[in-house]
Amino acid sequence: MPLSVSVRDIQTLILSYHPVIVIETLEEERVQTLLKKATEEMSIPMFEWSIAQGLIRSPGTFNAPWVNEYAPPGTLKPAAIGNTAEPLAVLKHVQDMSIKALFWLKDFGKHFEDPETARHFREAAQLFSQKRSAFVLTGDNIELPREIEHDAVVYDLKLPDRDELSRTVKEVVRTMRHKHRTIVELEDQDMQALVQAMTGMTLKQARQVLAYAALDDGKLTTDDVERILHRKAQLIRAGGVLDYLPVEGNRVEWGGFANLKNWLGRAKVGFSPAAKALNLTPPKGILIVGIQGCGKSLAAKAIAREWKMPLLKLDAGRLYDKFVGESEKNFRKAISLAESMAPAVLWIDEIEKSLGATGSDSDGGLSRRMFGFFLTWMQEKSQEVFVVATANDISQIPPELLRKGRFDEIFYVDLPDLQERGAIFRIHLMLRKQDPSHFDMPTLLQASEGYSGAEIEQAVVAALYRALYVEKPLDTELLVQEIQGMIPLSVSRQEHLKQLRNLAQDRFMSAR
């Protein structure tokens, strides 16, 4: 979201008598830039408070004392106004001030545990609602008392967009070149590649990773893009519920799925300028249901690779949190991150486990709330985030999710046929440096009837281990022995497979 839009949003909230604005973020630098711009255009003073410095008039804002911008950092700290370091003291001071202003309170949420502080804050907020002043609360996981919640509005500060990141890249490049004599070998298209690699990062993270790449070898070149992507993958994985696979690291191969591949070829046109010119929205996503080990997860990776988009995997196990409200927050955070990295593919593996069984109240209605949020987002999203959801158990999927319009299409994946099994064998043999022409393929295809792609892969791996053990080259006989020694899902879960086929046959499109 451009800065100008965020500035207008904050100004509109203040002018519409919203006394408390909550911004859950740790990016105080961006908040400061946003609030300074908003108050400067409105010609109202801005104050900021933290327990470490007390209340100060924010430097560089309307009617604030002049500050020497060339002084070394930290040498000219603004003096606190009165004795306002304590939360209760600053609220009492603010209530006595007669001016219309914006007050930025940092990490103030934890102080609402004191009833007297909460009461004074509530009275100050009631006063603000009459004179167009406002509190802005920032921090991580801000919890407001119920009596204050109805006065507050939550403002969602999106991750930096490409314009913000582009300005940051230029600032860092300029600093590296002049202060550290860094050699910069970047054309305009290379700069855009750097910006694209940094989408999904905060400004602070972007500066740090770019400065590290430049200082490590004294150069900033196109080779640093891959290092930045690697660092971004680490940050995303450490930061929450998503795993990240960049385009450059996605080298999967898939056999079969002819019908799905044809559909994807047509759907890709929806991301083109020609489609936008006709007011066509980009495709929303697909749901892939079917038997375990038949390539549903592989399809998600292959789609991202074919479309040259980064892949984000939503881990349902890391989505749920023991604390009230945290699971929904994790989900919203994951969706926001995916949107900031658009165009991207968002893979929700085993969606029935994270958003299924919404009729149960055993979790306090958590699944139902998250399911409702997901449905609304799928219905209204405009960002180029293509959702690939996979499911093994159709019975656990809420019927609302199967309705036409939620997903662009629902595909059913069955056990691979003869031709697909041949392609799977060739892929896994070649991947492990085996020549497929040295094997009796008709014999392997007959032996693997009823086996899934994952089971065929495991047979190849196990046969190679046995070949190493007996110290002989892998051959057809060893492979057949491993295949016949396995009990495939088509046998162990025969009833489930039959039920799944009967259910999907007339309702979903075949992936073949």
pLDDT at 27 over 50: yes
Chain CA centroid to CA 104, Å = 28
Is it true that 3-154 and 258-413 share their CATH fold? yes
Q: Following CA atoms 389, 394, 399, 404 in sequence, which dihedral angle do they give, to the nearest 10 degrees?
A: 50
Of 105-114, 231-240, 265-274, 322-331, the range with the lowest mean pLDDT is 322-331
State how far the Cα of 202 lies from the Cα of 241, in Å rounded to an integer: 17
242-245 and 219-220 strand pairing: unpaired
Domain layout of the chain by residue ranges: 3-154, 162-239, 258-413, 418-492
Q: Rounded mean pLDDT of 468-494?
A: 93
Tokens of residue 120, six digits: 């004074």
Portion of the chain with pLDDT greater than 70, in percent: 92
What average pLDDT does the structure give for the chain? 86
CATH for 3-154?
3.40.50.300
User: What's the pLDDT at 360?
Assistant: 54
Q: At residue 253, what are phi and psi to the nearest 5 degrees? A: -130, 145
Q: Rounded mean pLDDT of 94-107?
A: 93
The domain made up of 258-413 is a member of CATH 3.40.190.10: no
CB 41 within 8 A of CB 68: no
CATH for 162-239?
1.10.8
Distances (CA, A) of 366 to 24, 370, 377, 449: 21, 6, 17, 43
User: What's the pLDDT at 252?
Assistant: 75
User: What's the pLDDT at 71?
Assistant: 47
Range picked from 74-78, 91-95, 497-501 for highest mean pLDDT:
91-95
The domain made up of 418-492 is a member of CATH 1.10.10.10: no
* Peptide bond just before 343 cis, omega within 30 deg: yes
pTM for the full predicted model? 0.78
46-50 and 102-106 strand pairing: parallel
Q: Rounded mean pLDDT of 142-154?
A: 91
State how far the Cα of 464 lies from the Cα of 429, in Å rounded to an integer: 10
User: What's the pLDDT at 439?
Assistant: 96
User: What's the pLDDT at 14?
Assistant: 93
Q: What is the pLDDT of residues 368-401, one digit of tens each?
A: 778 888 888 888 887 889 999 998 888 788 888 8
Q: What is the pLDDT of residues 182-232, one digit of tens each?
A: 788 878 888 888 888 888 888 888 888 888 888 888 888 888 888 888 888
Chain CA centroid to CA 324, Å = 21
Q: Is residue 43 helix, strand or coil?
A: coil
Q: What is the pLDDT of residues 30-83, one digit of tens each?
A: 999 999 999 999 999 999 999 999 999 998 887 765 554 544 545 456 788 989
